[in-house]
Chain A
Amino acid sequence: DAGVIQSPRHEVTEMGQEVTLRCKPISGHDYLFWYRQTMMRGLELLIYFNNNVPIDDSGMPEDRFSAKMPNASFSTLKIQPSEPRDSAVYFCASSLEQGEAFFGQGTRLTVV
């Protein structure tokens, strides 16, 4: 398996634009997590899914953030409208029955 695949690796966008981050988890994994990493706040869990169903979205900072998992092999995290304070590295991770999380390479988002 190629591991967790995220795209894009880097994204620069203007304030107010919509941003969509994509994730392909490891095949067979039943948990998917979206994390955000910043210097100030560290690694924050935004939302996680179990068998494509959102279980806990309490970490989603605002209504501007939304996440979907339409099937077992794909998830998106959308920010609309984006703001400069959303600049961070966004990680997707997947796991099997709550074993260790396998991370993607992350997407570095810069909102100018």
Chain B
Amino acid sequence: AQTVTQSQPEMSVQEAETVTLSCTYDTSESNYYLFWYKQPPSRQMILVIRQEAYKQQNATENRFSVNFQKAAKSFSLKISDSQLGDTAMYFCAYGNRDDKIIFGKGTRLHILP
């Protein structure tokens, strides 16, 4: 069965710093998707970035980028120039065709002024 593990329950960084959130997963599939979601205090789940496993190039969305290491089954999220609005819970998620999307337990990120 697939699993997603986020080993950092909580993190704090100063505004404008760079922070990296860790995620590892386990699967026997070769084709799958990985996602990072953000959940601010409003509780809305917002997709931050996605990565298709068949793509070697790491996905990037503005200040957000990932380090996808397929062999190591690692999928970390880097937030550059962090802003106060980045304060949220961040979830790593895994999905593949014809199957469910499963989430890690989340990392609570605090951006300090």
Point out residues on A near B: beta carbons under 8 Å. 33, 35, 42-43, 45, 48, 50, 55-56, 89, 91, 93, 95, 97-103, 105-106, 108
Closest approach, in angstroms, between the C-beta of B53 and any C-beta of chain A? 12
Report yes or no: B45 in contact with A99, Cβ–Cβ below 8 A.
Answer: no
Given A42-B106, A89-B43, A105-B43, check contact A97 B50 (CB 8 Å).
Answer: no
Residues of B near A50 (CB, < 8 A) are 98
Residues of A near B95 (CB, < 8 A) are 95, 98, 100-101
Report yes or no: A98 in contact with B97, Cβ–Cβ below 8 A.
Answer: yes
Report yes or no: B35 in contact with A45, Cβ–Cβ below 8 A.
Answer: no
30 chain-A/chain-B pairs, Cβ below 8 angstroms: A33-B100, A42-B105, A43-B91, A43-B106, A45-B101, A45-B102, A50-B98, A56-B100, A91-B45, A98-B33, A98-B95, A98-B96, A98-B97, A98-B98, A98-B99, A98-B101, A99-B33, A99-B50, A100-B35, A100-B47, A101-B45, A101-B93, A101-B95, A101-B101, A103-B44, A103-B45, A105-B43, A105-B44, A106-B45, A108-B43
